[in-house]
Chains A and B, each alone.
Chain A
Amino acid sequence: MSVKVGIPRALLYYHYYPQWYTFFDQLQVTVVVSPPTNKHILEQGIAYCLDEACLPVKVAFGHLAQLADQVDFIFLPRLVSVFPREYICPKFLGLPEMVRHSGLPLPPLLVPAINTYRRQSDLMAAFQQLGNTLGRPDGQVRKAARLAQQVQQEYEKLLLAGWLPEQASRLLLGRQAQEQQVRLATELSPSSPPEAPEQGKGRIAIIGHPYLVYDSYLNMNLLQKLTRRQWPVAVVEQVSSTEIQKQTARLPKKIFWTLGRLLIGAGYHFLSAPHVAGLIHLSSFACGPDALIGELIASQARNCPGKPFMNIVIDEHSGEAGLLTRLEAFLDMVTIAGGRAGASA
């Protein structure tokens, strides 16, 4: 029997799953992914994680608990930096220790330090470390890592073209991986290519961290709620890195959080994009970086009166009724602002 490694369906899973999966698969390691977030997972997360942590971190604890007795190892990289001169959030730096000292009974953790603060190529070192821990020869590890990075590039292209993360993963990783994946959150069939993200006037842009935007349990099916009402959505991953770069160049100082930089770049882009009728900033209660990033986007949005902007903050107590009320009011505003063109016909 091959070694089984568990990957929690949380945090940057939505950014990196195809890469991580490919790497392990190439080393003949079986990958087990925790199921999509549900009530039980959330409850377990709350039980094991300290109260003061943000919702996404709590949920990650729940996913870890799910994997506990199913696998030999759990993959929990220390994501220090995934882009030169940037970090994600201090909580990602300390997550392995927060988990280790939480009392959650877990199999051994694989904790490579992913740190490309100095240069992107340092990613290779993390893969090497990981491969060595698993006792695989250097050559095989290097090959697996290279393929993993290629798959990641393909994945990002699919996201840019309008596929949502789990659809894109499924397309890329094929049948074998498909068995691991549970049903998609959206109603789009994964076999039909998405509508080009720049088309279809009257899109609602959702600006938020992937672990909130693509976790349909946490966001109470926000994306589905919009598509059901005939509002196509636009997401951060659909904005090219050159465009993000162009937009953030206007800031007086470089943003040193990767997710924050993407959010601002996409936010500024959507504020001036003709296909976007309104913006929703989806954030979690007490999120550190978002408190500042959100303010910068909101300040910019105040200067774009034609584009309604709303901030939805979620935590473990958020109720669906409240979300619906706010969403309806927001969509009314977008309609009044004239954004409905094309969509309502």
Chain B
Amino acid sequence: MRVTFPHMGNLWISLKAMLTYLGVQVIVPPPCNKQALQAGAKWAPEFACLPLKLNLGNFIQAREMGADTIVMAGGCGPCRFGYYAQVEHVILHDLGYNYQLVVMEPPEKHIGELLQRIKYITGQNSWWQVMQGIRFGFRKACLVDQLEKRAFYLRPREKRSGSTDKALQEALATVDAASNWRELEQAKHQAMQRLDEVKTVQRPVLRVALIGEIYTLLEPFANLELEKRLGEMGVEVDRSIYLSEWINDHLFLGLVRGMRSSKAFSQAAAPYLAHFVGGHGQESVGSAVYYARQGYDGAIHVLPFTCMPEIVAMGILPRVSQGTGLPVMSLIVDEHSGAAGVQTRLEAFVDLLARQKRHKGAFA
């Protein structure tokens, strides 16, 4: 059995860690790239959302590398993610790719179904070992998030352009390479140190929050490297969703203490949207309120074309913007999005934020 899974930013580091810890043979698809997108967009329904198209591309590429089993998450609606796996499977099957599909999701009948699926993948390992594997993967997810946050701070302040990215890539590779707990502790120090080597200069920066749909927030290929672009423009970003927080919210049901939870966002949404709308639509509205309270200079709402929950949010965000004074720009991405267009829009938005800040006298 050679297991693959879809990409979503640095999720692969964590998943790979968990599975290899348990002795499962893993095939990580090539990072999301143009070929994957082209293949995915060719075979996926036209109006499917971008994540589905990229997933499909990942699976096609992984198949060519010898993968034969797909592991992915599922759900029970109302957003489309809950039916992704099945539709992707049908498309792959019609293309002649015979994958074994294992979907991890809330079971329809009883919890035994889910446990059975986990056992299918993890084989001879005891439940205790499985728990350790999950812990190991989660630990890596936490580390990755820490490194990314550090990079968000460094990018707008780096002395030599590109030095943060280089350091971040090396740091992530160090974390990926650690194959047991002892190595992971060492990797942590090395990785942090690597980022601390980035030389910075103190300069005034703008603070912009990235909010919206989880996949397009976490996958740089999907959002045309939004974080990097903004960093280069002298913007310090924060993201409304980090992988470790998402895992804690959805898989551990908030058991890990001291982590930010998306619940706070749904609560903050109340004056504008008091009902869940699937996906992270309500959280998107709430996170705008939250970041406005935190004194951010602006927010960028990222969503895939045809994403239902985020279209609801998009219809409401102008009101949030009016009510809180936080400028919000929506960025819809799909396979036709071009880097040049995105760059121009980002520059215009950042300009506007800088002007507003100068106007308030808060920007030297």
Contact = CB atoms under 8 A, between A and B. Distances in A.
Contacts of B308: 89-91, 288-289
Contacts of A196: none
Contacts of B79: 90, 288
Contacts of A52: 305, 311, 314, 332
Interface string B83-94: 110110111001
A93 B306 contact: no
B78 A93 contact: yes
Contacts, number: 126
Contacts of A97: 272-275, 312, 315-316
A50 B314 contact: yes
B64 interface: no
Q: How large is the interface on A (under 10, 10 to 19, 20 to 34, 35 or more residues)?
A: 35 or more
A91 B311 contact: yes
Interface string B267-306: 0000011111111010000000000000000000000011
Contacts of A252: 86, 89
B76 interface: yes
A90 B308 CA distance: 6
Interface in A95-151: 95, 97-98, 101-102, 113
Interface stretch (A11-19, A28-36, A185-193, A254-262): A254-262
A291 B46 contact: yes
A90 B279 contact: yes
A78 B47 contact: no
B315 A101 contact: yes
A254 to B, nearest CB: 6
A292 interface: yes
Given A93-B276, A254-B108, A53 B78 contact: no
A295 interface: yes
A256 B79 CA distance: 9
A85 B332 contact: no
B48 interface: yes
A98 B316 CA distance: 6
Interface string B45-68: 111110000000000000000000
6 contacts: A97-B274, A257-B77, A286-B47, A286-B306, A291-B45, A292-B83
Q: Enumerate the 7 nearest inter-chain pairs by beta-carbon distance, A residue then B residue, closest first.
A: A94-B312, A256-B77, A87-B78, A90-B278, A291-B47, A90-B308, A94-B277
